[in-house]
Amino acid sequence: MTIRLTDKRKQILQVLKRQHGTMSVKDIHNKLPKIDQVTIYRSLDLFVKNKLIKEVHLGKEGMLYEYQTEPHHHAICDDCRKVRHFTAPDEKIKKLLGLEDFEVEEIEVIVKGVCKK
Amino acid sequence: MTIRLTDKRKQILQVLKRQHGTMSVKDIHNKLPKIDQVTIYRSLDLFVKNKLIKEVHLGKEGMLYEYQTEPHHHAICDDCRKVRHFTAPDEKIKKLLGLEDFEVEEIEVIVKGVCKK
DNA sequence: TAGTATATGCAAATCATTTGCAATTGCGAT
DNA sequence: ATCGCAATTGCAAATGATTTGCATATACTA
Ligand SMILES: [Mn+2]
Ligand SMILES: [Mn+2]
Ligand SMILES: [Zn+2]
Ligand SMILES: [Zn+2]
């Protein structure tokens, strides 16, 4: 019943905090090759359940994880595949959605397009 | 180079059109047990590439597909898992996002919450 | 109708994620 | 500080979704 603050968990969370952006399980494993992938999977699940990190689905590839300083959304460039992180006035968007009989807890906006650069 | 309008492809598209909502590959295969799952996968890929249908990621489970009469978004109830489909003023939302140096082509809003009812 | 490129089925491969289990370790209670 | 034990970890194997290779079947074109 008790959740332990193990060294491995600290390392995994550190890696996610340092990286500003999303990481796959493999990304994390590359930075921490000593830690088994299974342990990474289990730790990430734990962090997600305890809302320390967020899961993000951005395409077919597989789940991505990120430590979020503040809630934000994602835009993906169809050309270069780069992911842009941006904040938005969620309350205003929520009003525009006009969802009746539904208690909105979280809004996730995913934008597809291309970098103008 | 030529894309054939085969009977199997027609059947698969029909099933998606009739169903109002999302379907998994297994859902489709259950309705069309005679058609091999691989054929369903390949047909769906083709339809997506040709923008006849949309792919939707709504959770860990796996990819979902839907024939969209008109563009819309999705809300998922954390309790009953039911998916609600709703339209929104995308242009207004787009303005709220304030994405600089990015050519927005498509906005996908995924809402998490619970049914009030 | 014949010829050929495209589509299909079946088996096997691949990829991400999960599960079982034995060995290890963190931490609360002595 | 040491003990006892539940929580954690690693390794191997299982799962589940999706993809690939290849031989056969079929749609469309000429
Ligand atoms: Mn982000
Ligand atoms: Mn829909
Ligand atoms: Zn780009
Ligand atoms: Zn519900």
Q: Which of A63, A73, A97 sits opposite B88 (nearest CB)?
A: A97
Total residues belonging to chain B: 117
| Domain annotation covers residue A99 | yes
Question: Which own/partner pairs from B8-12 qualify as long-range (CB within 8 Å, at least 24 positions apart)?
Answer: B8/B35, B8/B39, B8/B43, B9/B43, B9/B46, B11/B35, B12/B40, B12/B43, B12/B44, B12/B47
Q: Does B117 touch chain A (CB under 8 A)?
A: yes
The count of structural domains within chain B is 2
Total residues belonging to chain A: 117
CATH of the domain at A57: 1.10.10.10
State whether A109 and A82 are in the same domain. yes
User: In this predicted structure, what is the pLDDT of residue A85?
Assistant: 95
State whether A32 and A57 are in the same domain. yes
Listed residues: CB within 5 A of ion ligand 1: A 66, 85
Output the pTM of the full model.
0.91
Distance from CA of A80 to the nearest CA of B (A): 12
> Dihedral angle at the C-alpha atoms of A5, A6, A7, A11, nearest 10 degrees?
-70
User: In this predicted structure, what is the pLDDT of residue B48?
Assistant: 97
Distance from CA of B113 to the nearest CA of A (A): 5
> Dihedral angle at the C-alpha atoms of B35, B36, B38, B42, nearest 10 degrees?
-10
* Rg from Cα positions in chain A: 16
Chain segment B19-71, per-residue pLDDT in tens: 999 999 999 999 999 999 999 999 999 999 999 999 999 878 889 999 999 99
Cα three-residue angle A55-A75-A80, rounded to 5 degrees: 110
Residue B76 has pLDDT above 80, yes or no: yes
Chain segment A57-105, per-residue pLDDT in tens: 988 888 999 999 999 999 999 888 889 999 999 999 999 999 999 999 9
Last residue of a domain, one of B66, B82, B97: B66
Q: Report CA-CA distances (Å) from A15 to A29, A44, A58, A64, B54.
A: 10, 12, 20, 14, 35
Q: How far apart are CA B23 and CA A54, in angstroms?
A: 26
Place of tokens 């054929």: B39
Domain that holds residue B107: 73-113
User: In this predicted structure, what is the pLDDT of residue B117?
Assistant: 77
State whether A15 and A62 are in the same domain. yes
State whether B94 and B56 are in the same domain. no
Place of tokens 């769906």: B44
